[in-house]
Chain A
Amino acid sequence: MTTSTFLDLAEPAVGADRAVAACAEAVRAARAAGADEAEAFLSGRAGGYTRFAVDRVHQPQDVHERQLMVRAVVDGRSARVATTDLAGAADAGRRATGRAAALARAAGPLPVLPAPASGHDVGVLAPGTLWDPATAAWGTPERVDAVRGLMRAAGAAGGEAFGMLGRAVTELAVVDHDGVERYAAATEAFGTFTVRIDDGTSHWVDLDRRLAVLDLDAVVARTVEEAGRARGRVDLADGTYDVVLGPLATGELLEGFHAYGFTGDAVADGVGAVARRRGERVAPETVDVADDPRAVRGLPFPFDPEGTDSVRVPLLDHGVVADAVTDRASAARAGLPATGHAHIAREETPHPAPASLTMAPGSASVDELVGGVERGVYVQRLWYLRVVDPAATTLTGGSRDACFLIEDGRLTTPVRPARFTESVFGVLSRVDALGADVLAQPLANVWNGAVSAPALRVRGFRFGSAGSAAATSQSPEEETA
């Protein structure tokens, strides 16, 4: 365990020398035990989180995690062994090799796929992109002070605040039998809260390597004001509206992109958008969606757990279905370049996944977007989105928190959460303007995952619950997709 406390500047849970040495030891032991190939990564995270509700810091946490995972290959069969015990790195390497050999005996050898091409020019991350001294210095006392101010501001407005402010250091080391040896560590500042005043609520979330980007003072004032304005909510009648999706709602709309076929596995299987619709325009030129691990906004990181450089992959290139993210295996199988998007999710098979989703901003303010709507709805946040039909990019979910009717270009009556079932490509095809400001939020269950997006104005968005006429009508796109 580290001997430092939260009162110090944040530092990696493991550190470069120890992390790389553990990975190297695991790889050496795997090779010595007979592995044809071996690689190891160590991911670590030291996080301090100040969670609060109403008048209490109810869950202050100082969490240090790490995992060393070694993958060994014998006769084309691979096995992974992971541990938190760095003194057991060599044993992990040997056991991975033994298990791979056992699989090879049981299942027979498997031809080794050719190594994928890199195929990308990789730029160097600008100095300071990963590490922000101000974030590193944002310790528990500083976060608690900020929380007190936030709770006071909500209380002064007659409301309550709930949420979390956090700071973390994420680190990743990778070593393989072929001489790859990499390490990087990055700060992360994270804030999220909801202010409730009577039945009115407003929500905010943002994250970045740099604390200053969060701009907490301004955000607190705005969120408290919005919660006050959101009081007296009424039901939203089922129907089709022009909508302005706030930056958080837009980001949430993008979270399901992996399911629509933007991965190397989907391309290799011949299913999904890239395999079947590559080159097709599905949205206006202004809609530019990418996975960009090198974008400064969000959580940039230079490589993935396989040690591959993580590069920008256009998904909807100015509205046109473009490319897929890959890990090494899916790249080899699909004949695509390796893009550095390896992902090992809990309770799932390893697979490539977008981890740094971005949508390019436009130039409008939210007020300008709203000003262009005669009758519609402003949606701050979406909630519990689930893909219904990946081929049609259809998902269902609900709106949440500060949502308002738009009448004659102005936010008017606040509305309660409402359910929708919509095609994401369909929604994006009806975008006619994008906001200038971007917010970033975590991608659930994805290592170092984030999505950053601006506000959107969409001409036609259907709200309606089960059995309603609005919800059961299907758009032409859904019928033909």
Chain B
Amino acid sequence: MSAHTWGSLDDGSARALLEEALAAATGEGVTFADVRLVEAEEERLYTDLRGKLDERREHNAGLGVRVLRDGVWGFASAPLDGPGGAGAVARRAVAVAGASAGTAPVVLAPREPTSGTWAVPVDVDPFAVSAGERHDLLQRVVKAASAPDLVRSVTAGLNAKRQHKHYADSEGSRQSQHLVESGAMLLAVAADERGAQRRSFPNSFHGNTAAAGWEYVLGLGLEDEATRVGEEAVALLGAPQAPGGTADVVIGPAQLALQIHESVGHALELDRILGDETNYAGRSWVQPEDIGTLRYGSPAMTIAADPTVPGTRGSFAFDDEGTPASRHLLIQDGILRDVLSSRDAVARHGGEAAGSWPGAARSDGWAWLPVCFATNVYLEPGEGSLDELLDRMGDGYYADDNRTWSIDDRRMAFQFGTEAAWEVKGGKRGRLLRGFSYGGLTPQFWGSLEAVAGPEEFKAYGMPCGKGEPKQWGFLGHGASPSLFRGLSTGVAR
């Protein structure tokens, strides 16, 4: 049985509910309506040093309806709840728009209707893996990570999610997407009288998740990595504090993925650039008139937004307002070329031809409005191996795996810390250091990018993100190869 064959609604039943909602999303002044129906199921299994297991499987199914009435949006959502419910949600959306009338009108960028079906390729259905196999893997991981005496805490987890996402709008688009993702996390903490230190794998914030089946988890090499993670956590207890100052640094792919997320992805959301997110998430240091001309970084910096790349949490065929996915260069050779957009933001900005923008309207399931989130946004690889990059640097540091991060509301001034760093002398990795951190300003930081390692060193990461009011979650893909930055400001805190 396919990993996509599950749930309470097949495509035909879902389509009927979409049509019911669209039929009800009408009335005087209604010029556009779209409906999203999402059925999702998520499974998580965690364990720790005490052998305690926590397993949960969460299922939800619901409908979100958005209408444009007299130029004003109205949105309503509710869980699926029997006959007639879809129409009721649509009527609430129409009523909300009517009650919100009288403010400046929303205009949508022109777009041809697009219909189709898309599914994430899956080799092994993660929901079909037995409790015994999952438990055995986690137990081996915990045992390996906790082998050193000073490891005091280990948490290991597995996660999987599957979704049926259906979309229809009043312009004729009809879309279905069947998504599956799999992931894992490991966190080890070593402690003694010198303090506590942590190491993690495959990423430090909620682990890593890919659009794939169980084969992704098996390919991580969790058990071997767990041994390293435990040993490095203990080694960090006795490692010297990383010094502050100015230094050349090769930043590893996990840390750089977060740097891209915070200082590129968020900064290039068009709704931020236009000011819509001023109150909470913030604005951007990028101005609307900068698009096409602004030097964002060095010529070594090329950033793509490409949801058509398979396997990431930012991979899809259509965004959550039905815009087909396509590859766009956001930054090319250091110059800002494009931004992540939603349909109404594009229209307000006014510069795009019909349907040609990097569609990035995304929502957290059925309950929330689509807003601009990053998609699959990554640094294009350069050439050569990590060792060659370290050799090119000569003296400096190699740092990876985020420990702490903070950036201002314009995505300009930031400070990041990593779990681990190594002194590099003469191109060779030497002493392990604790408490490495660096900071700077976005354009200066990216301007100091000298070289990016090749595609063989590239790693992709799936990340959760928060935005909007009320805050909703977005799930994104970012990736990078290790990259050399010259003259970074380092130090601040442990």
Taking Cβ atoms with an 8 Å cutoff, the residues of A that contact B are 1-3, 5-7, 13, 47-67, 69, 77-87, 95, 99-100, 102-103, 105-107, 110, 139-141, 144, 147-148, 151, 160, 162-164, 166, 192-194, 196, 201, 203, 269, 271, 344, 346-350, 383-392, 394, 396-398, 400, 417, 419, 421, 444-445, 465-467, 471-472, 474, 478
B61 to chain A, nearest CB (A): 6
Known: A110-B51, A383-B408. A193 touches B464 (CB 8 A): no
A473 to chain B, nearest CB (A): 10
Interface residues of B in 250-307 (CB under 8 A from A): 275-280, 282
Task: Evaluate contact between B159 and A144: CB separation under 8 angstroms.
Answer: no
Closest Cβ neighbor of B77 among chain A residues: A63
Task: Evaluate contact between A65 and B367: CB separation under 8 angstroms.
Answer: yes
B80 within 8 A of A: yes
Task: Evaluate contact between B440 and A466: CB separation under 8 angstroms.
Answer: yes
Task: Evaluate contact between A84 and B195: CB separation under 8 angstroms.
Answer: no
Task: Evaluate contact between B489 and A467: CB separation under 8 angstroms.
Answer: yes
Stretch at the interface among B94-102, B212-220, B392-400: B94-102
Closest Cβ neighbor of B245 among chain A residues: A467
Please name all residues of chain B whose beta carbon is closer than 8 Å to the beta carbon of A103 when the two chains form the complex: 53, 55, 131, 135
Most buried by A among B73, B99, B371, B439: B99
Task: Evaluate contact between B131 and A421: CB separation under 8 angstroms.
Answer: no
A449 to chain B, nearest CB (A): 11
Task: Evaluate contact between B73 and A421: CB separation under 8 angstroms.
Answer: no
The contact string, 1 if C-beta is below 8 Å from chain A, for chain B 178-202, is: 0000000000000100011000000
Please name all residues of chain B whose beta carbon is closer than 8 Å to the beta carbon of A78 when the two chains form the complex: 53-55
Q: Which 10 A-B pairs have the closest CB atoms?
A: A466-B439, A467-B489, A80-B56, A84-B79, A1-B85, A82-B58, A162-B278, A106-B132, A102-B131, A140-B99
B202 to chain A, nearest CB (A): 15
Docked CA distance A77–B58 (Å)? 18
Closest Cβ neighbor of A66 among chain B residues: B79
Task: Evaluate contact between A84 and B61: CB separation under 8 angstroms.
Answer: yes
Please name all residues of chain B whose beta carbon is closer than 8 Å to the beta carbon of A52 when the two chains form the complex: 103
Stretch at the interface among B108-116, B326-334, B469-477: B469-477
Beyond the given pairs A347-B159, A394-B494, A472-B244, 16 more chain A to chain B contacts, judged by CB atoms under 8 angstroms and listed by A's residue number, are: A1-B78, A60-B99, A61-B369, A63-B75, A80-B56, A80-B58, A103-B55, A147-B103, A164-B470, A193-B279, A194-B278, A271-B152, A271-B191, A383-B409, A396-B493, A419-B413
A80 to chain B, nearest CB (A): 4
Please name all residues of chain A whose beta carbon is closer than 8 Å to the beta carbon of B195 when the two chains form the complex: 391
Task: Evaluate contact between B103 and A55: CB separation under 8 angstroms.
Answer: yes
Task: Evaluate contact between A6 and B408: CB separation under 8 angstroms.
Answer: no
B128 within 8 A of A: no
Most buried by A among B51, B280, B466, B473: B280
Would you give 21 A-B contacts (Cβ < 8 Å), ordered by A?
A: A2-B88, A53-B278, A58-B73, A59-B73, A60-B97, A62-B75, A64-B79, A64-B367, A80-B58, A82-B58, A87-B82, A102-B132, A106-B135, A162-B277, A388-B403, A396-B404, A400-B409, A419-B415, A472-B491, A478-B493, A478-B494
B170 within 8 A of A: no
B155 within 8 A of A: yes
Docked CA distance A148–B494 (Å)? 47
Docked CA distance A83–B8 (Å)? 12
Taking Cβ atoms with an 8 Å cutoff, the residues of B that contact A are 8, 44, 46, 48, 51-62, 72-82, 85, 88-89, 91-93, 95-97, 99-100, 102-106, 130-132, 135-136, 139, 152-153, 155, 157, 159, 191, 195-196, 206, 244-246, 275-280, 282, 344, 367-369, 371, 403-409, 413, 415, 417, 437-440, 464, 466, 468-471, 473, 489-494
Please name all residues of chain A whose beta carbon is closer than 8 Å to the beta carbon of B48 when the two chains form the complex: 349
Task: Evaluate contact between A58 and B439: CB separation under 8 angstroms.
Answer: no
Docked CA distance A79–B368 (Å)? 28
Please name all residues of chain A whose beta carbon is closer than 8 Å to the beta carbon of B282 when the two chains form the complex: 383
Docked CA distance A410–B77 (Å)? 49
Please name all residues of chain A whose beta carbon is closer than 8 Å to the beta carbon of B85 when the two chains form the complex: 1
B348 to chain A, nearest CB (A): 10
Known: A140-B96, A347-B206, A419-B415. A61 touches B75 (CB 8 A): yes
B39 to chain A, nearest CB (A): 10
Known: A1-B89, A65-B367, A107-B135. A60 touches B104 (CB 8 A): no
B158 to chain A, nearest CB (A): 12
B444 to chain A, nearest CB (A): 11
Docked CA distance A82–B56 (Å)? 8
Task: Evaluate contact between B81 and A1: CB separation under 8 angstroms.
Answer: yes
Docked CA distance A282–B19 (Å)? 62
A268 to chain B, nearest CB (A): 9
Please name all residues of chain A whose beta carbon is closer than 8 Å to the beta carbon of B469 when the two chains form the complex: 49, 51, 59, 163-164, 192
A259 to chain B, nearest CB (A): 11
Most buried by A among B54, B102, B473, B494: B54
Task: Evaluate contact between A386 and B405: CB separation under 8 angstroms.
Answer: yes
Task: Evaluate contact between A61 and B96: CB separation under 8 angstroms.
Answer: yes
Docked CA distance A147–B157 (Å)? 45
A6, A271, A397, A471: the one within 8 Å of B406 (CB): A397
B438 to chain A, nearest CB (A): 6
A352 to chain B, nearest CB (A): 14
Task: Evaluate contact between B79 and A349: CB separation under 8 angstroms.
Answer: no
Task: Evaluate contact between B51 and A53: CB separation under 8 angstroms.
Answer: no
Please name all residues of chain A whose beta carbon is closer than 8 Å to the beta carbon of B99 when the two chains form the complex: 6-7, 60, 139-141, 144
Please name all residues of chain B whose beta carbon is closer than 8 Å to the beta carbon of A419 when the two chains form the complex: 406, 408, 413, 415, 439
Please name all residues of chain A whose beta carbon is closer than 8 Å to the beta carbon of B93 when the two chains form the complex: 62
Task: Evaluate contact between A467 and B244: CB separation under 8 angstroms.
Answer: yes
A284 to chain B, nearest CB (A): 25
Task: Evaluate contact between B72 and A60: CB separation under 8 angstroms.
Answer: yes
